[in-house]
C-alpha cells in the first residue's frame, strides 16, 4: 500500500513539473523590422532605461499571456518588482509603462506596424527582427 501511494505521489509530482515547464515555454523577443537591438539592451528597454535605438524612439509592449515567463527568464524579477519600477518611473521621469497586449497575435501585429516597437512572444514569427 505504501509503495502504491509513493508511486502515485512521484507520478503526480513529475506530471506537475512537466506541465509547469510546458506552460513556461520559450520567450522570444521581437522588434520591428527597422529596429536593431542586442539581447543585452532588452532589459534596459523594458525598464525604461533605454528609450532610443539610434534616432528611433523605442516602444516596448508587454504580452499578458507571456509576461510571467518573460519577467522570470529575461528580466529576473517578479511582476510586483516590475510594476513598482514603472510606478517610480512614472512619478520620477514621467514615463508610461509599456502597453499591455493580450497575447502573441496582438503583440506581433503591433510590432510589425509600429516603428521602434519591441515585444515578446512564445515562438519566432516572420516579418520581424528576432533578438538573440
**Mind listing the pLDDT tens digit for each residue in 5-41?**
434 444 444 443 333 333 346 999 999 999 999 999 9
Q: How far is CA 118 from the centre of its chain?
A: 10
pLDDT of 81 over the 50 cut: yes
All three cell numbers of 107: 503583440
- Is the pTM value of this prediction over 0.95? no
Specify whether domain 25-131 bears CATH 3.40.190.10.
yes
**DSSP-based three-state secondary structure for 96:** coil
Amino acid at each position: 500500500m505504501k509503495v502504491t501511494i509513493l508511486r502515485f505521489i512521484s507520478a503526480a509530482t513529475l506530471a506537475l513539473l512537466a506541465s509547469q515547464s510546458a506552460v513556461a515555454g520559450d520567450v522570444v523577443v521581437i522588434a520591428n523590422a527597422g529596429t536593431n537591438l542586442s539581447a543585452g539592451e532588452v532589459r534596459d528597454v523594458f525598464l525604461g532605461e533605454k528609450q532610443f535605438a539610434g534616432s528611433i524612439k523605442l516602444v516596448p509592449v508587454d504580452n499578458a499571456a507571456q509576461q510571467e515567463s518573460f519577467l522570470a527568464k529575461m528580466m529576473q524579477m517578479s511582476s510586483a518588482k516590475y510594476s513598482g519600477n514603472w510606478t517610480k518611473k512614472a512619478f520620477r521621469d514621467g514615463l508610461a509603462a509599456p502597453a499591455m497586449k493580450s497575447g502573441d497575435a496582438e503583440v506581433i501585429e503591433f510590432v510589425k506596424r509600429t516603428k521602434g516597437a519591441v515585444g515578446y512572444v512564445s515562438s519566432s514569427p516572420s516579418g520581424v527582427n528576432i533578438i538573440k
